[in-house]
Amino acid sequence: MYELIILGGGPAGLAAALGAYQNGLRKILIIERDKELGGILNQCIHNGFGLHTFREELTGPEYAWRYIERLRGTGIEIMTDAMVLKIGEAENGYRTIHAVSAGRGCLALTCRALVLAMGCRERPRGAIGIPGDRPAGVFTAGTAQRYINLDGYLVGKRIVILGSGDIGLIMARRLTLEGAKVLACVELMPYSSGLTRNIVQCLEDYGIPLYLSHTVTDIEASNGRVSRVTVSAVDENRRPVPGSERRFNCDTLLLSVGLIPENELSRAAGIRIDPRTNGPIVFENMETTTLGIFACGNVVHVHDLVDYVSAESEYAGASAAEYVRAAGRMAVSGRTQLEIRTGPGLTYTVPQLVRLPLPADRLGIYFRTNRVYGKCRIDVSALSGENRRLIQSFPKEYMTPGEMQRISLPGDRLKDQDCSALLLECQEG
């Protein structure tokens, strides 16, 4: 019997375990389906990690190792090469996790609290409906990254990349360094979905063209392998423009067209999912709408930086520890529950729900925009019926959908607020 079980041994799971341990829990188990801890970080051998958390630049494996070392000697149990099959119903304050392990067979594990840290997966070709042949040579960017960095295989010599997500941008640089020719990076939207620093360091520094408002409209094959792709401009409705076709002779097409939080277990357990993020709806303490189940990292919403994943996950682990110390009863009675709503221009917020009074002195809110903004501000207002009261404004110099935004609202601004919801709006100028 465990106080806390964490599903996932990547950066989110490691940080959640540390947060729980630092807040008094000792019977903690991490379940990881891979053969070793670290998750996606193990194949991210480029630098750029840890600038916020450790104040130095690390590679992905180095960042993961820092957390693994911090857990060493804590007594936290690790179960790798294991798969969770089902999250059971809560009975008498405890919940049973059904799993299968390569070394231990079928298991039924009992815990007081549960943290979901399963991460996310890539959107494949079938999810975006690219027309054309179905040959070898079409990979998601993360798959190509694993082949090159962990297995030592070069996936192709002449590459076209569809999508400008961070993994695709980083792979454009990596493939160039390995001797391949990256012909183009093609993005459907009129803006890149990756970080600005990655556009500069991975495309511009290597002379790789970025075609915005373009998409792949055909894949041709020769002898069962990609031989040519057709790229077309798209109009304001994202439909291909006739006569705008460009053809690239290539042997490989990489897809960097978005990430999907891994929430099959969450849905099966009846946890409410936000259709905007495809992740669990969470409160300010990262608890889901199911009592005793917390979530953090990319299973909640896709992050730009692992440093933010770690900070959020340590907080989730600390919140789970508070839940366990309260013997499975969170102090929710007498607290006001508010929904956080978004105005035009914003796509979502995390958390989506807030309970007042806050357990901490500040409320951190993550959000994304649905278009590029220049100088603007984020207004946070309290809603009560038809009435709206401005609580605080946060100036922003520049925002793009490819970069997650965060504001920190002082807790005292929410005291004595007689309202039913909070509203985040973007005001230009």
pLDDT value for 37 = 98
Could you tell me if 352 and 424 are in contact, meaning their C-beta atoms sit under 8 angstroms apart? no
pLDDT value for 121 = 96
- 237 lies in the same domain as 324: no
* Domain stops at, among 257, 276, 295: 257
pLDDT value for 328 = 60
- 268 lies in the same domain as 193: no
Q: Is residue 341 part of a domain?
A: no
pLDDT (average), residues 365-389: 93
Measuring CA to CA, how many Å separate 266 from each of 116, 154, 192, 279, 281? 8, 36, 30, 9, 11
pLDDT (average), residues 51-79: 97
pLDDT value for 414 = 84
Confidence band of 361 (pLDDT split at 50, 70, 90): confident
User: Torsions phi, psi of 220, nearest 5?
Assistant: -110, 150
Residue 112 has pLDDT above 80, yes or no: yes
- 326 lies in the same domain as 356: no
- 286 lies in the same domain as 232: no
* Mean pLDDT (the chain, rounded): 95
pLDDT value for 336 = 81
- 98 lies in the same domain as 135: no
- 248 lies in the same domain as 129: yes
Query: What percentage of the chain has pLDDT greater than the value 70?
Result: 98
- 402 lies in the same domain as 302: no
Q: Is residue 231 part of a domain?
A: yes
- 220 lies in the same domain as 279: no
pLDDT digits (tens, 9 = 90+) for 284-301: 999 999 999 999 999 999
Q: Is residue 340 part of a domain?
A: no
Q: Is 84 helix (H, G, I), strand (E, B) or coil?
A: strand
pLDDT value for 332 = 55
Q: Is residue 163 part of a domain?
A: yes
Q: Range of 40's domain?
A: 2-120+260-330
- 9 lies in the same domain as 60: yes
Residue 330 has pLDDT above 70, yes or no: no
* Domain stops at, among 257, 273, 294: 257
Q: How far apart are CA 338 and CA 97, in angstroms?
A: 31
pLDDT digits (tens, 9 = 90+) for 211-250: 999 999 999 999 999 999 999 999 999 999 999 999 999 9
Confidence band of 359 (pLDDT split at 50, 70, 90): confident
Q: Could you tell me where the DSSP H helices lie in 211-296?
A: 264-268
* Domain stops at, among 211, 239, 257: 257
Q: Is residue 335 part of a domain?
A: no
Q: Is residue 390 part of a domain?
A: yes
Q: Is residue 162 part of a domain?
A: yes
**CATH, residue 215:** 3.50.50.60
Could you tell me if 170 and 198 are in contact, meaning their C-beta atoms sit under 8 angstroms apart? yes
Q: Is residue 338 part of a domain?
A: no
pLDDT (average), residues 90-106: 93
pLDDT (average), residues 26-55: 97
Residue 93 has pLDDT above 90, yes or no: no
- 422 lies in the same domain as 376: yes
pLDDT (average), residues 4-22: 98
- 294 lies in the same domain as 219: no
Measuring CA to CA, how many Å separate 209 from each of 155, 161, 203, 276, 293? 20, 11, 7, 31, 45
Running DSSP on this structure, what letter comes out for residue 156?
-
Q: Of 129-143, 169-183, 221-235, 403-417, where does mean pLDDT reach its minimum?
A: 403-417
Could you tell me if 185 and 168 are in contact, meaning their C-beta atoms sit under 8 angstroms apart? yes
pLDDT (average), residues 4-15: 98
Q: How far apart are CA 346 and CA 106, in angstroms?
A: 44
Number of domains in the chain: 3
pLDDT value for 327 = 75
Rg (CA), the chain: 23
pLDDT (average), residues 80-103: 94
- 211 lies in the same domain as 150: yes
pLDDT digits (tens, 9 = 90+) for 169-219: 999 999 999 999 999 999 999 999 999 999 999 999 999 999 999 999 999
